[in-house]
Amino acid sequence: MKRFLTFIAFFSLIACQSYEEQTADGQASFLIGYMPQFGNVEINARQLRISAWEHQMAASMEVHIQSTADGSSHVLNFTLSNSNLPQTILLPYGTYTYEVTLDGREMEQYLPFRSEGTFELQGPQAQISMQAESSYGLITVLNDQVDGVSSEGQEFYLTDDEEFYYLYVAGGSAVSLTVNPKDGQDPINRELTVGTSEHYHFFINPSGEPNSSLVDLVMGEFSYTEEEIALDNLTNVVYDADGNRYRTVQVGNQVWMAENLRTSSYCNGDPIRREANPENWDDVEEGLWTYYDDNEAYGPIYGKLYNGYAATDERNICPCDWRVPTKEDFEELAQLLDQDYTGPDRMKDTGFEHWKSPNTGATNETGMTMRGGGMLLRQTPQRDREENRWHYPFPLRVGYNWLHLVGSWWTQTEGEFRFWWYASQPEPPGYRFNTLYVMDLRFNSVGYVNPGVHDGYKTEGMSIRCINENP
């Protein structure tokens, strides 16, 4: 018996050691944290000094990671085309430094930048947000009535849509800009010294009158610089009270945001409370927001999740002169699109990056780029939602749920939801309650677009798309 107990103790020791060895590694998730936008933003400003330029990036970069304990080195090959999503590497527990350096010449096609920092991996997962810094500036020229742009023999590059010529230039460099107009006109020359983190944008103005406007940057704090040839007037964008920029799209007589809302402020500048713990959303009758799974990396892609009280707050969560859509707004859109379950789905983003396969019928013909941003679900206290199981043809759980499976968007229209019950029985408490209409899209079907009454309280989290009040 004693020998048997000794064997058991030995086996347990080996098992514990094996478990510790298995759990000695964790997953480090890296992403690029974009620099905050800036500018002297008035609450009701229609135009902001924020650059609308999206950086041209190299295809990939290497993140060099080093252990502070034993000096061991690791390399993460980071794909910049997916820079909004975390990219991971398995590492032993410990403290690390990381460094990224994308060097460049005086003039470059892609943005040179660097990032470095320290992080600790003491559990199954750690998230590292890399803050990128660049010593370069940017020159762009609108490709309208232009036959080429160069600087001292260096040709400017064209964006993929051929709308702009561009070149990244090391800060402090003196540049001789040459713009060749079409129709055989003489070249136009400009001399300028490019400042670090400054964006100079030119266009040919036949009238000679400067017509300045605003530009925006996704990463880095590029400042607005007004030159003798003024900045191009960018259209089809709108800014919220935080200075976030959104593409817009016209569908019929309606003008919609082409991206989910990301603001943390109402139109008048009042802040909206952030609450990451789903349990703290219950019984709260004020506006709340969070990122899906409390992960900031999802923000630029899917926007934020808001409760229904934020959607209906009289201070207006949308940009000034925009609003949360009504049930009737979506019904008008549905009538125009005339979608049924046979497809196509003209609103859903295509491919399988933001929707799970099969992403039925997705064509995104409207340009609205609706994505499966998931929801924050809460249990209705008086009613087990599992009894309404027919409404959910995939796993149901309370909390953050259904990323890439479902997209849900609040309206501001009130409605009463009723669970069914047997007519021969008295109505159970809580089987009907006031809530809001919502519009849902799913990965495995083509949406009708017509909104329905939500089967949960306004304390749940969903996306918001704003519509122009006066298109």
Same domain flag for 117 and 143: no
Task: Give the separation between CA 470 and CA 198, rounded to whole angstroms.
Answer: 34
- pLDDT bracket for residue 46 (50, 70, 90): very low
Task: Give the separation between CA 279 and CA 293, rounded to whole angstroms.
Answer: 13
Residue 233 in domain: no
Q: 131, 153, 176: which is the final residue of a domain?
A: 131
Asked whether 444 and 336 are in contact (CB, 8 A), the reply is no
**Model confidence at 176: pLDDT above 70:** yes
Residue 19 in domain: no
Owner of token pair 């009613």: 383
Q: Where are the alpha helices (DSSP H) in 298-384?
A: 299-302, 308-312, 327-337
Task: Check residues 200 and 170 and name the one with the higher pLDDT.
Answer: 170
Task: Give the separation between CA 203 and CA 165, rounded to whole angstroms.
Answer: 10
User: Domain residues for 175?
Assistant: 136-224
- pLDDT average, residue stretch 158-172: 90
Asked whether 450 and 333 are in contact (CB, 8 A), the reply is no
Task: Give the separation between CA 384 and CA 74, rounded to whole angstroms.
Answer: 49
Owner of token pair 């609103």: 347
Residue 337 contacts by C-beta under 8 Å, 6 or more apart in sequence? 251, 346, 347, 366, 449
The amino acid that residue 98 corresponds to is: Y
Same domain flag for 178 and 70: no
Maximum CA pair distance of the chain?
A: 102
- pLDDT average, residue stretch 64-84: 88
- pLDDT average, residue stretch 458-464: 95
Half-sphere exposure in the Cβ direction for 196 (13 Å, CA): 6
Same domain flag for 156 and 190: yes
pLDDT at res. 84 = 59
Which is nearest to 30 in space by CA: 66, 84, 81, 71?
Answer: 84
- pLDDT bracket for residue 340 (50, 70, 90): low
- pLDDT bracket for residue 133 (50, 70, 90): confident
pLDDT at res. 2 = 45
- Range from 5-19, 228-242, 388-402 that averages highest in pLDDT: 388-402
Asked whether 303 and 407 are in contact (CB, 8 A), the reply is no
- Total domain count for the chain? 3
Residue 306 in domain: yes
Tokens representing 48 are 């902001």
Same domain flag for 214 and 127: no
Asked whether 144 and 164 are in contact (CB, 8 A), the reply is no
Task: Give the separation between CA 136 and CA 116, rounded to whole angstroms.
Answer: 17
Task: Give the separation between CA 383 and CA 27, rounded to whole angstroms.
Answer: 39
Residue 17 in domain: no
Task: Give the separation between CA 79 and CA 149, rounded to whole angstroms.
Answer: 30
Asked whether 91 and 153 are in contact (CB, 8 A), the reply is no
- Specify the DSSP element, H or E, that contains 16: helix 2-22
Residues in the chain: 471
Tokens representing 63 are 């993140």
Tokens representing 156 are 């400017």
Backbone angles phi, psi at 366, to 5 degrees: -75, -20
Same domain flag for 439 and 292: yes
Residue 237 in domain: no
Residue 319 in domain: yes
At residue 202's C-alpha, the angle toward residues 198 and 208, to 5°, is 135
Residue 5 in domain: no
β-strand partners of 107? 169
β-strand partners of 446? none
Task: Give the separation between CA 21 and CA 162, rounded to whole angstroms.
Answer: 54
**Model confidence at 6: pLDDT above 60:** no
For 117, other C-beta atoms within 10 Å of its C-beta total 13
Instruction: Supply the pTM of this predicted model.
Output: 0.53
Same domain flag for 285 and 403: yes
Tokens representing 329 are 């707004």
| Cβ-based burial of 241 (10 A; exposed 0-12, middle 13-18, buried ≥19) | buried
Owner of token pair 């699109």: 337
Same domain flag for 460 and 334: yes
Same domain flag for 308 and 349: yes
**Model confidence at 220: pLDDT above 70:** no
Asked whether 91 and 25 are in contact (CB, 8 A), the reply is yes
Q: 131, 148, 167: which is the final residue of a domain?
A: 131
- pLDDT average, residue stretch 379-392: 51
- pLDDT bracket for residue 224 (50, 70, 90): very low
Same domain flag for 259 and 397: yes
- Range from 126-135, 179-188, 314-323 that averages highest in pLDDT: 314-323
Average pLDDT, the chain: 79
Residue 403 in domain: yes
β-strand partners of 90? 27
Owner of token pair 């999503």: 85
- pLDDT bracket for residue 71 (50, 70, 90): very high
Q: 63, 97, 131: which is the final residue of a domain?
A: 131
Q: Where are the alpha helices (DSSP H) in 406-462?
A: none
Same domain flag for 425 and 371: yes
Asked whether 395 and 375 are in contact (CB, 8 A), the reply is no
**Model confidence at 383: pLDDT above 70:** no
pLDDT at res. 143 = 84
What CATH number is given to the structural domain containing 63?
Answer: 2.60.40
Same domain flag for 285 and 366: yes
- pLDDT average, residue stretch 324-351: 85
Same domain flag for 47 and 154: no
Tokens representing 320 are 């000034």
**Beta strand 146-151 with 154-155: parallel, antiparallel or unpaired?**
antiparallel
The amino acid that residue 331 corresponds to is: E
pLDDT at res. 417 = 80
